[in-house]
A = this chain, B = another copy of it.
Amino acid sequence: MPAPAFDDWMRARLSDVEQGLAALLPDQAAMPQRLHEAMRYAVLDGGKRVRPLLVFAAGALQDADQDLLLRAAAALEMIHVYSLVHDDMPCMDDDALRRGKPTVHVRYDQATALLVGDALQAQAFQVLAQASGAPERKLEMIALLAEAAGSRGMCGGQAIDLESVGKPLTLEQLERMHRMKTGALLRAAVMLGALAGAALDQEQAARLSRYADAIGLAFQVVDDVLDATADSATLGKTAGKDAQDGKPTYVSILGLEQSRQLAQRLRDEAYQALLPFGSEGRYLRELADLVVQRKA
């Protein structure tokens, strides 16, 4: 049986992810209902689900266990969404719009937004700890996710981002910040997907790591381009916010045209890294295209 075309594959995986998230989040009828409702409001019906798709695409390399992949995908998305909920709060980016809907602290209140994020992080680790699969492998996945989410990964990148407001950054400093802030979790998505399958050899792991780094950075470069060029309705979040907040971006440092070229180069790098995987790498290749060509 030939592997399904990318569009069909993606549609099927997105449907898996939505159903998986709905099933793995606490029931809305369970106490405390308002918190559970707010958690589901934050996570469901929205988002491009780039990280879950990366988990599944990397899992396809080694024919990984589907339940473990789904739980890894859901855990990553829960971590990602909690970071958005906290990031949107008034003491951080103070944003009212996310995924085309009012942000959690606007729809509910700040205290609820804080608790939604906190509870989603705990839920992510619980979902992963209770997955099927070899215990040693799951512990490795949990440690990797925690490292990527914590102070040497996503949270650390956000801290550096906060300190950088209004300061001129070099391209190198900007890249380091983004490797932590968004890169760490995108990278974790790829590596978790691979960990859910048969072990990779050293050369394969290094190649996958290069792929993950390249698309992690490409994702951010495109984000900066879109923030400077798209409108809020298309983005589902407030456009032009970075410039308004005095945040250094790829566009502010490199300009629009060079930023676009950088994104293309990073996509080529990602393709290059995947060469030895042959046709098993096709979903990862298609996702690299998706990341670079997306309009929102």
A residues in contact (CB < 8 Å) with B: 26, 30-32, 34-36, 39, 82-83, 86, 89, 91-92, 109-112, 114-115, 117-119, 121-123, 125-126, 129-130, 135-136, 138-140, 142-143, 146-147, 149-153, 155-156, 158-160, 162-163
Cα of A89 to Cα of B160 in the assembled complex, Å: 21
Q: Is the CB of A150 within 8 A of B119?
A: yes
Taking a contact as CB atoms under 8 Å apart, the answer to whether B92 and A111 are in contact is: yes
Q: What separation, in Å, do the CA atoms of A114 and B117 have in the docked complex?
A: 10
Q: 7 tightest CB-CB pairs across the interface, nearest first?
A: A122-B150, A135-B135, A126-B146, A91-B110, A35-B159, A119-B151, A119-B155
Number of copies: 2
* Chain B hits for A159, CB < 8 A: 32, 34-35, 112, 115
A117–B114 Cα gap in the complex (Å)?
10
A30→B152 contact, CB < 8 A: yes
Which residues of chain B have C-beta atoms less than 8 A from A142's C-beta?
Answer: 125-126, 129, 142
Given contacts A119-B156, A139-B135, contact A114 B86 (CB under 8 A): yes
A32 CA to B156 CA in the complex, in Å? 6
| Neighbour of A163 across the interface among B32, B92, B119, CB < 8 A | B32
- Contact present for B32 and A160 (CB under 8 Å): yes
The answer on a CB contact under 8 Å between B162 and A150 is no
